[in-house]
Chains A and B, each alone.
Chain A
Amino acid sequence: MNFEFSEDQNLLREQAQGFLAEHCPPSAVRKVLEGKAPFDKELWRKVAELGWTATTIPEEYGGLGLGYLELCVIAEELGRAVAPIPFSSSVYLATEAILMAGTRAQKEKWLPKLATGEAIGTFALAEGPGRPSPKSLKTSLAKGRVRGTKVPVADGDVANVAVVVTKTRAGDKASWQLVDLDQRNVKCDVISTLDPSRSHASVKFRSADCEPLGAEGEGWALTQKLLDRAAILFAWEQVGGAQAALEQAKEYALGRYAFGRPIASYQAIKHKLAHAYIKNTLARSNCYYGAWALNADAADLPVAAATARVGATQAYYYASKENIQTHGGMGFTWEFDCQFHYRRSKLLSVNLGSEGTWQDKLITAVEQKNAA
């Protein structure tokens, strides 16, 4: 047993930290948040150049063929930097889905482009408010074409390819379709979301060309597996963000004086930050286990994923809201960067299904483990 990252992985972390400090400072996040550009194209290009988008893609498809531990390291740093790029959609979801269920031809077509960042991918599941299920899906397949509307689709407006979850004819199961978004029968409308540093769209499929990805009727099982794997990577982003929010609160508290003392010397502030530290530490430890389970494709992956996800969601939410609170009125201003974490924490938490969804999944996974 070994509960730490390797020296190489720690080196990668240092490099990633240095790179993002230079190329993804808060001003870069703000530029996307306030501007018209859907994401930071320059940063995306550089990230792709570093090979981050190619991390887990096998070498035969133009990737680096590294493991998931490396991807977890990168995820944490992207989360810390609140990076305004379509990394999670393209790498944790679309790339993973194609790796999981793609035919050789599908992999050959998409993976090399996803590896270089030339193509951006996404995963389209949600169809408006409510927890999706195979029965709730309306998007369907008619004569081998996709019809329906997916909303919100993270990075739907900039993606070139989407994995779309459709209902089966009988309506009780789901299938995956691989849809090239650069076609006339797909219409993407940018929608405003809580976190404008990450772009989202409403995507209408009007009898869109598609190819089945994986077997028909297998889409729900595949979705669960994909979400479990992505949950661990999302959790690492969340833990990175939570740590950054705690550090931001701490720095401010040390420098801000009230009643003749730094506010950091008041117990109400100290205990708040200590609670954030506790939540972050426990979440990080659960993420370690998740990283291992993901990398080893362990049987315990569903438990590990939900555990990491629930803890990281709660930790980031807590750190981001108490960061604003610690800043007082300043924290509530547009000028201050506290909003980045507050927005991102909630976005990441709903992006992959709510906290309640994952609490429920965790107990289900424990039940299944006990029954096995």
Chain B
Amino acid sequence: MDFNDTPEEARFRKEARAWLEANAPKAEELEGLDGIARAKLWQKRKFDAGWACIRWPKEYGGRGASAIEQVIWNQEESKFDVPMGVFAIGQGMAAPTLMTWGNDEHKRKYLPRLASGEDIWCQLFSEPAGGSDLAALRTRSVKEGDEWVINGQKIWTSGAHYSDYGILVTRSDPNVPKHKGLTYFFLDMKSPGVEVRPIKQISGQSNFNEVYFTNVRIPDSQRLGAVGQGWQVSITTLMNERASIGGGGMGVGFDVAFKLASKLNIDDRPAIEDKAVRAKLADWYVQEAGLKYTGYRTLTALSKGETPGPENSIGKAVGAPKTQDMASFCMDLMDMAGAIDDPEIAELSGLVQASFMGSPGGRIAGGTDEIMLNILAERVLGLPQDVRVDKGIPFSEVPTGTKG
């Protein structure tokens, strides 16, 4: 065990840092660009220099780097305030699914465009009747010649409005038990018959959408896995989703809370001197450190290309509620002014309030807290599955969605 770099690792870190210092976008380069354009600029720059998706094989636009090099790169890149975000689904979820289930042509055609940031992908999984119970989804796929015809509705699709491609799970056979009748595709979001309608969130933003499919045609060559194997393919995506969402990272974390507590007073003394404040901060520090080191351990334990296991649900299960609790705590530190979210006058330009309003979504997206605990209990600890009243029954006879 050694948390220090070996000489080669130190060399790699130096190289990465030097490149980041020379190339991380300056404020003036980003001025006037929207979030997507900023992220694309940075992604393309990394890609051109061989620093994009560094663990992917070189032929697909990566660097063929080791897991440890990935840890080092993440550590170094996180020290810079660089634009990120819109590629998480494509690079973190669609790409590993393509690598596991796609053919050579799929990989050669789509992976380099994902690495370079040319294409943005979205995840068309959830439906009004299929969220936690994803396999209850109803969107129909019917084979016609070399094509599939898709009809139905997806919901909560993050980034559908700016995505180039989507990964899609459909029901190809309603007359078999629900997990057996699913088939998985990817599609061009500009296909005729795809309609995207924004949904307004409690945070006031509209990052997710409803997506309607009316006689959308997808070539059979864009199917991943066999007909009826869509559930297994989806699991690959979901495991990678939980691994990539990981420790949360977004919003209020220890550093923000620590700085705030050092700056604001309680009874004329810095809040950080208050023992109760210290105790809470310590617990969050411990959780963040635990997630970080657990992440290092799992990342290095995985050999290249392997699907991350169910134990990755820890990151979400801890990170998402922590962000919410920390945002709430930081608003308490501001006392009466904690309610102000006007970026012009709010402490930290309203970051904490925004995090408070965004954090409930983190506990739901990518599998809810409760589902993460079920996964850990069943798939890691080996406890029995919940009693299932829908087992072995054809999907068409199972009650789904919202009643009454």
Contacts and interface: CB of A to CB of B under 8 A. Distances in A.
Contacts of A273: 377, 381, 383
Contact of B285 (A4, A360, A366): A366
A310 B288 CA distance: 13
A205 to B, nearest CB: 32
B115 interface: no
Contacts of A270: 373-374, 377-378, 381, 383
A11 to B, nearest CB: 15
A270 B287 CA distance: 21
A362 B71 CA distance: 25
A331 to B, nearest CB: 18
Interface string B296-331: 110011000000000100100110000000000000
A267 B275 CA distance: 35
Given A265-B386, A271-B377, A1 B4 contact: yes
Interface string A259-300: 001101101011101110110011101101101110110100
A363 B283 contact: no
A1 B289 CA distance: 17
A295 B3 CA distance: 11
A277 B380 contact: yes
A254 interface: yes
Nearest to A310: B286
B386 to A, nearest CB: 7
Given A270-B378, A282-B314, A362 B286 contact: yes
Decide if the interface of chain A is mainly helix, strand, loop or mixed.
Answer: helix
Contacts of A283: 290
A27 B272 CA distance: 48
Interface in B1-17: 1-6, 9
Nearest to B385: A265
A116 B374 CA distance: 48
A274 B381 contact: yes
B370 interface: yes
B99 interface: no
Interface string B255-285: 0001000000000000010010011011101
Contacts, number: 156
A86 B19 CA distance: 54
Interface string A1-22: 1111110000000000000000
Contact of A3 (B282, B289, B293, B311): B293
B1 A359 contact: no
Contacts of A311: 286-287, 289-290
A356 interface: yes
A306 B292 CA distance: 16
Contacts of A281: 290, 294, 311, 314
A292 B1 contact: yes
A306 B289 CA distance: 11
A363 B284 CA distance: 11
B336 interface: no
Contact of A291 (B1, B4, B286, B297): B1
A356 B278 CA distance: 9
Contacts of B204: none
Given A265-B387, A270-B383, A363-B282, 16 more contacts: A3-B1, A3-B3, A3-B300, A4-B300, A262-B384, A264-B383, A274-B374, A281-B294, A291-B1, A292-B3, A310-B282, A310-B286, A358-B282, A359-B282, A366-B285, A367-B272
- The 7 A-B pairs of least Cβ separation, nearest first, read A282-B290, A359-B282, A270-B377, A285-B293, A265-B384, A274-B376, A285-B294
14 contacts: A6-B1, A267-B374, A267-B386, A270-B374, A270-B381, A274-B380, A289-B3, A291-B1, A296-B2, A311-B287, A311-B290, A358-B282, A362-B285, A363-B278
